[in-house]
Chain A
Amino acid sequence: MDPVVLSIWILRLVFLALLYWFLWTVVRILLRDLRAAAREPGAELGRLLVLASPGGEPAVGAAFSLDAVTTLGRDVNNTIVVDDEFASGSHAVLTYRGRAWYVEDLGSTNGTFVNGQPVDGIAAIGFGDELQLGNVRLRLERARR
């Protein structure tokens, strides 16, 4: 067989093989990423990041991992204790129902605010929205995955 024809044949197959080597390497990277994400502990539904807290409890920058129901207030029995002089004992409750987050004001004295809007009873809240109880401001964020 003509050496040129033969080398063209070999090069063609090497070209296709290299394309698949590339894809195989990419797929290995993707699988490693997926496994790393799956290994992370806890099936948290979301996170609450503390943006401002004049009282120091909770601390600014702290992030709370959220379950389906999270109560907030000054009373020590709350999931997240908000030690602020403008917060009520049982101030608000944050729930995850179906596919969305809701915040419910539990009749607090100074009210609960989502992005500066007062919550009347119950209100929907999305990732990236800001929650305010008294002087404490928190932001709802997606779970770290």
Chain B
Amino acid sequence: MTLTAAPRIHPRLRRRELGLLVIAGLALAVGSMTLELTRRLAAGDEVATEPGLPFANPAALAIYLGAVFAAHAILVLTGRRTDEVLLPTVGLLGGISLLLMERLPQDLAGGLGLGTTQLVWLTTSIAVITAIAAFIRSDAWLRLYKYTWAAFGVGLLLLTFVLGREVNGQRLTLAIGPFSGQPSELLKVILVVFLAGYLSENRALLVEQSTRLGPIRLPPLPYLAPMVAMWAIALSVVVFQRDLGAALLFFAVFLLLLYVTTGRASFVALGLVAFAAGGAVLYEIVPHVRTRVDIWLDPFATASGAGYQVVQALHAFARGGILGTGLGAGLPEVGSLPPGGIPALHTDFPLAALGEEMGLIGVMAILGLYLVVIERGLRIAASAADDFRAILAAGLSLVIGVQAFIIAAGVLKLIPLTGITLPFISYGGSSLLTNGLVVGLLIALSDRGVGPPPPPTAQRGLRRVFDRGAA
């Protein structure tokens, strides 16, 4: 009996990735120098002429860049033909986050301080991306157990309803023993996995239209049930958890995936109508929702009360102008508690601080980086081998894109503000780890060498055909 040898792994150079990583590293080094020189200038002239190259916290930057280049080295050694753009893009976003967290007041996070804690989570997130991108070769564990995953997600949600700890009037944080985290972050990944499984399996049925509702034609009713359940879950998240951001994210991703799968704009229109109706009812019933919408309509009416956060963010963008004040040169008290600071700057409002220090041009570059993530994800989806992988890849990239849009638009007062993190920039372990999971899966899915697993087949008794030659 012969043992089958494990497939040999050939290292494969990733030149594009290396080139992009070098540019990203240079940008971060220059940013760190700006930060340090600004600090020295503010501290007084005698420190400004210290010898040596000025870097703000060189050890942290070195550790972070080391982690990103190590991730690159591991991907080279495993030699898979995977995407080479996502890792540098995410690495640059994380680096910008590191520069920002080092400059904010360190007491926003207990223990190690804001900058160091963020560094720990960022390196862990890069490690998650690398592990998944390098070693996940089959998607069967996601594909085959979609209902198990869905049950796990609903369980997490219920557990948060019951055991959740209230922080700032929102029941989002789940603490079990010494561990605490925000399950809604993980829930968005589970949702995409379930939808990818469900929609790829029932695609043909959903395209078919047998039910009529006035001028709109719908798929058979039993196949609409999960859709209605989704709508109900999104609304219950709003009512019980007061988490508008997560509800909006879940529902938007759900509608987008429905459109990606069926190509029917009527579904999206119907979903938007249902969303508007639900929103109008919630506006009347839930005071939390009404406050958010009122702030959005006129934050200056309560500029020193409820609208304080949004008004300060708008002022920060205005101070930044086109070129920004420069890294580290924003208002020093911006991250601290009121008066003078924006509450939750490090979790919900990092874009306001970046808008002040990097200006319109910098914010547009950051939004461009998110666009790159979406484009890569949709490209991976378009070239995927089957429907499940295509919908999964589209959903994963849209989760990041939609989340970035919701919080960026909220901070800019384009839509009502909902508390949600800016992927890879906001402070927070749950957010960084799950977004690392998402990007790692995207890179793994971009490997075209892995085929989908065969569907189950049944062997049957066959009868010989005697019509050889005849039609």
Q: Is B372's CB under 8 angstroms from A16's CB?
A: no
Q: CA of A53 to CA of B176 in the docked complex: distance in angstroms?
A: 55
Q: Is B41's CB under 8 angstroms from A12's CB?
A: no
Q: Is B85's CB under 8 angstroms from A26's CB?
A: yes
The residue on B at minimum CB distance from A37 is B383
Q: How far is the CB of B323 from chain A (nearest CB, A)?
A: 7
Q: Is B390's CB under 8 angstroms from A4's CB?
A: no
Q: How many residues of A contact B (CB 8 A)?
A: 57
Q: Which of B27, B31, B89, B387 contacts A26 (CB 8 A)?
A: B89
Q: How far is the CB of B65 from chain A (nearest CB, A)?
A: 14
Q: Which of A12, A21, A85, A127 contacts B465 (CB 8 A)?
A: A85
- The interface residues of chain A lying within 8 Å CB-to-CB of B456 are 115-116
Q: Is A11's CB under 8 angstroms from B30's CB?
A: yes
The interface residues of chain A, by DSSP majority, are classed as: mixed
- The interface residues of chain B lying within 8 Å CB-to-CB of A141 are 385-386
Q: Does chain A have a CB within 8 A of B318?
A: no
Q: Is A16's CB under 8 angstroms from B361's CB?
A: yes
- The interface residues of chain A lying within 8 Å CB-to-CB of B464 are 85-86
Q: CA of A115 to CA of B92 in the docked complex: distance in angstroms?
A: 45
- Give 1 or 0 for each of B161-184: 1 = CB within 8 Å of chain A CB: 000000000000000000000000
The residue on B at minimum CB distance from A5 is B41
Q: Does chain B have a CB within 8 A of A1?
A: no
Q: Is A110's CB under 8 angstroms from B327's CB?
A: no
- Give 1 or 0 for each of B374-416: 1 = CB within 8 Å of chain A CB: 0110010011111110100000000000000000000000000
Q: How far is the CB of B200 from chain A (nearest CB, A)?
A: 7
Q: Is A22's CB under 8 angstroms from B27's CB?
A: yes
Residue ranges of A at the interface with B (Cβ–Cβ < 8 Å): 4-5, 7-9, 11-16, 18-23, 25-26, 29-30, 33-34, 37, 51, 74-75, 85-90, 98-100, 109-110, 113, 115-116, 124-130, 132, 134-135, 137, 139, 141-142, 144-145
Q: Is B390's CB under 8 angstroms from A142's CB?
A: yes
Q: Is A16's CB under 8 angstroms from B20's CB?
A: no
Q: Is A115's CB under 8 angstroms from B323's CB?
A: no
Besides the known contacts A11-B30, A142-B390, 10 further A-B residue pairs in the complex with CB atoms under 8 A apart: A7-B37, A11-B34, A13-B323, A15-B27, A15-B30, A22-B88, A113-B460, A130-B454, A130-B455, A134-B462
Q: How far is the CB of A20 from chain B (nearest CB, A)?
A: 6
- The interface residues of chain B lying within 8 Å CB-to-CB of A135 are 462
Q: How far is the CB of B380 from chain A (nearest CB, A)?
A: 11
- The interface residues of chain B lying within 8 Å CB-to-CB of A115 are 455-457
Q: Is B372's CB under 8 angstroms from A26's CB?
A: yes
Q: Is B41's CB under 8 angstroms from A132's CB?
A: no
Q: Does chain A have a CB within 8 A of B3?
A: no
The residue on A at minimum CB distance from B329 is A8
Q: Is B458's CB under 8 angstroms from A116's CB?
A: yes
Q: Show 13 A/B contacts (Cβ-Cβ < 8 Å), sorted by A.
A: A4-B41, A8-B37, A11-B34, A12-B327, A18-B23, A19-B362, A20-B365, A23-B368, A25-B23, A89-B469, A130-B455, A142-B384, A142-B386
Q: Is B462's CB under 8 angstroms from A110's CB?
A: yes
Q: Is B38's CB under 8 angstroms from A8's CB?
A: yes
Q: CA of A118 to CA of B203 in the docked complex: distance in angstroms?
A: 19
Q: How far is the CB of B164 from chain A (nearest CB, A)?
A: 39
Q: Which of A34, A86, A100 contacts B203 (CB 8 A)?
A: A100
Q: Is A74's CB under 8 angstroms from B468's CB?
A: yes
- The interface residues of chain B lying within 8 Å CB-to-CB of A109 are 463, 465, 467
Q: Is B92's CB under 8 angstroms from A127's CB?
A: no
Q: Does chain A have a CB within 8 A of B26?
A: yes
Q: CA of A52 to CA of B359 in the docked complex: distance in angstroms?
A: 61
Q: CA of A60 to CA of B37 in the docked complex: distance in angstroms?
A: 66
Q: How far is the CB of B467 from chain A (nearest CB, A)?
A: 6
Q: Is A12's CB under 8 angstroms from B457's CB?
A: no
- Give 1 or 0 for each of B45-73: 1 = CB within 8 Å of chain A CB: 10010000000000000000000000000
- The interface residues of chain B lying within 8 Å CB-to-CB of A126 are 200, 203-204, 386-387
User: With A8-B37, A142-B390 as given contacts, are A89 and B85 in contact (CB-CB < 8 Å)?
Assistant: no
Q: Which of A23, A85, A88 contacts B372 (CB 8 A)?
A: A23
Q: CA of A89 to CA of B465 in the docked complex: distance in angstroms?
A: 9
The residue on B at minimum CB distance from A30 is B375
- Give 1 or 0 for each of B71-107: 1 = CB within 8 Å of chain A CB: 0000000000000110011001000000000000000
